[in-house]
Amino acid sequence: MQFFSDTWNVPQTEREDWTRHWMTVGFDAMERLLVESVDTGRFCHGDTPTLADCCLVPQLFNARRFNVDLGPYPTLVRIDEACLALPAFDAARPENQVDCAG
């Protein structure tokens, strides 16, 4: 986000709006793909976590940071919850890192 300030002097609210817009576009597509896929299970692709889940979890963390409404994405939220119930995902949460700014 600092890039916008340094390059174009874009106000914080506009940067956050831009971020929320593109998160929503991506989540719309991902939710639709997962709902329509016969491969979607407990996780993005079946009942074992894959790289797709490893990529999804931080995106939902960031969405919450930017106050993105996750109501339209029940499948993404369900998968995120399934991931975070696993010890490895839980341990990897940003707030569980020693260098987390909080």
pTM across the whole model: 0.87
- Nearest CA-CA partner of 87 in 49, 34, 35: 49
What does the pLDDT read at residue 9? 78
As a three-state string, the secondary structure of the chain is: CHHHHHHHCCCHHHHHHHHHHHHHHHHHHHHHHHHHCCCECCECCECCCCHHHHHHHHHHHHHHHCCCCCCCCHHHHHHHHHHHCCHHHHHHCHHHCCCCCC
Tell me the mean pLDDT per 10 residues along the chain, length 102: 70 90 97 98 97 96 94 98 96 86 64
Closest CA to 68 of 1, 16, 15: 16
Contact predicate 95/102, CB 8 Å: yes
